[in-house]
Structure 1
Amino acid sequence: MHAYYADHFVLPLPEGHRFPMAKYRLLRDRIAQHLPGVSLQVALPASDRELALAHAPDYIDAIADGTLPPLAQREIGFPWSEAMAERARRSVGATVAASRVALHEGVAGNLAGGTHHAYADKGSGFCVFNDVAVAARLMQVEWARGDGGRTARPLQVAVIDLDVHQGNGTAHIFRGDHSVFTLSLHGARNFPFRKEPSDLDVELPDGCTDPDYLQALEQALDTLEQRFAPQLIFYLAGADPHEGDRLGRLAVTHDGLEARDRRVFDWAWQRRIPLVFAMAGGYGRNLDDTVLAQLNTWRVAWQYHQRWQNVRP
């Protein structure tokens, strides 16, 4: 199974910064140790042309040359640096590469990504570019090109966003786009405090535990199936619904998160829909909790990747 990473581009964050940059390298190390069947590959950067499928050219240029206004930098939460700009491009490139592989092999993932707070013309909440939005649009372009124009219907894409924070940037980018269905299952009282309407928003109360969380997910998947027929799924497997997360406000256990992952992968597998996944958020009081939750997601993904290979011609 293919896994793409860019954690060697480390942002020079000030001491005491609350973003847990170390989690990406820790996850890669754990995967290398515990899941030798996962092929870890360095992500290539997304090009300007690819980024422009979902982002304004002026914003892309400002990130590239460091001319983003201070207020816009503060909204992102990272100070600008060349490493920040390069990492943002490669995080998108990782999801693009995983998407191409998933369409042929069934499952592939990004060890980072899920940067769903980024809008077309601005970043927010530690998100610079919206990797899923760029990859979804690019897969639609490549799908149409490969189809040779025989059908007018674009590739149908579903975004299943299970980060604890609402996917506001993704929802805004795809607003009115009937070829993409956005589903967000998130904390009602959590960031962002001004939410954008997704195609399906499911709000959860503070302290939500495993049974209620999993029931809400089941109902959301039922609604998705009733309203949309995806041909490709992007799954944001946020670790931040975990009970030990500093920013999550929910009370989902590791067992609950693993059950969540299994349900999403199984839902896609039963319908033979290729699935691309990204790690999205995770801010554990104990960073090992975040890394363990993410490692469990990769372990589940590996099992479903094996199922896909058993049915390939």
Structure 2
Amino acid sequence: MVIPVVYHASYSQLALPSQHRFPINKYRLLHDWLQHSQHSRYCKIHTPERVQLSIIKQVHDAEYVDGLINGSLDAKQLRRIGFPWSSELIERTLFSIGGTLLAAKLALEHGIATQISGGYHHAHANFGSGFCLFNDLVIAANQLIAEKAVSKVLIFDCDVHQGDGTATLTSNRTDIISSSLHCEKNFPARKAHSHHDLTFAKGTGDSEYLKLIEQVLPLLLSTYQPDLIMFDAGVDVHQGDELGLINLSDAGLLRRERLVLNIAKRADIPIVCVAGGGYCRDTLQLVNRHSKLYIAATDLFCETGE
């Protein structure tokens, strides 16, 4: 089996101030790592198209969407997002959302797919936050449901920060189930209500973290019987993350990826994996953390024997 991997060069084509917190280069470097690693022969790169604005507007307020696209949002709104406005910002955003939608469709076809960007779970209906302009997870899930490709989607969000935008966007829905596993004392300060919120104390380590996933994910699959799992594989749960506050080791992070993917595989439910968060001034350390997903995926789905 060859695993579909979605990537577009625009993911890292955004000029930011030198001290900006967002690790814009990690997408290009992760793609380069994958291309030159032993795992490349088990992966096929797919290039997304820009998502149509009409698809975004099925989830987000049209006035907010238009304001972002044409650059008319006020300075306060942009500060909340965390990026200065530019045409490159809009370009990478539209390709990123298109990438998550493409990866979701490929997962339905192949059983698994990954997206080197994605996981913009702080975007709400009419405002963005925390480096998230539009919520690619909900947009992709909503579009697949609208196309009748699926009836129900589970968003399983393992980013260290709560997916508050995902929570508010799905609060009145029964066809998109939001589950967020996050550090209790971390951004955002005011939490929203997901269908299932599972919180960790500051400093939680491998054993407690993995035990909860092992208990909860099979229960969610049994309860909701989704047609697709959307896995936000944020690596900001790593002990070396500068914004995370949870203490997963390298080995624990790899075990998480194996655990989530294996549960999905055993249940025979397609899974699409997006990159999610990760914050470290040493971008190569971030690439190493994100690479665990690809190591686990090729091992479990491609029978590499590694």
Q: Check conservation: 1:2, 1:101, Cα contact below 8 A.
A: yes
Match status 1:209 vs 2:205: yes
Q: Check conservation: 1:245, 1:285, Cα contact below 8 A.
A: no
User: Any idea what the Cα deviations from partners look like across 1:13-52, whole Å, max 9, x if unmatched?
Assistant: 1121111111111100001011223122332110011111
Segments of structure 2 that go 5 or more residues without pairing to the other structure are: none
Cα displacement (A) at 1:288: 2.2
Matched with 1:148 is none
Secondary structure of residue in 2 paired with 1:171? helix
Matched with 1:238 is 234
Write the distance in 2 (CA, Å) between the matches of 1:15 and 1:243: 24
Matched with 1:188 is 184
Task: Give the TM-score taking structure 1 as reference length.
Answer: 0.92
Write the distance in 2 (CA, Å) between the matches of 1:68 and 1:3: 33
Secondary structure of residue in 2 paired with 1:8? helix
Matched with 1:254 is 250
Number of residues paired by the alignment?
298
Write the distance in 2 (CA, Å) between the matches of 1:43 and 1:302: 22
List structure 1 segments (4+ residues) > 6 angstroms apart after TM superposition: none
Write the distance in 2 (CA, Å) between the matches of 1:179 and 1:4: 25
Matched with 1:47 is 52
Q: Check conservation: 1:165, 1:191, Cα contact below 8 A.
A: yes
Amino acid at match of 1:171: A
Q: Check conservation: 1:76, 1:126, Cα contact below 8 A.
A: yes
Match status 1:36 vs 2:40: yes
Cα displacement (A) at 1:304: 3.6
Write the distance in 2 (CA, Å) between the matches of 1:3 and 1:223: 28
Task: Give the TM-score taking structure 2 as reference length.
Answer: 0.94
Cα displacement (A) at 1:299: 1.9
Write the distance in 1 (CA, Å) between the matches of 2:226 and 2:116: 23
Matched with 2:121 is 116
Amino acid at match of 1:57: A
Cα displacement (A) at 1:268: 0.7
Residue 12 of structure 1, aligned match among 8, 15, 35: 15
Cα displacement (A) at 1:225: 3.4
Q: Check conservation: 1:235, 1:278, Cα contact below 8 A.
A: yes
RMSD: 1.4
Cα displacement (A) at 1:66: 0.5
Matched with 1:74 is 79
Write the distance in 2 (CA, Å) between the matches of 1:291 and 1:190: 23
Matched with 1:98 is 103
Write the distance in 2 (CA, Å) between the matches of 1:285 and 1:208: 23
Amino-acid identity (%): 36
User: Any idea what the Cα deviations from partners look like across 1:222-278, whole Å, max 9, x if unmatched?
Assistant: 441353111100000001000000000111011101111111111111111011110
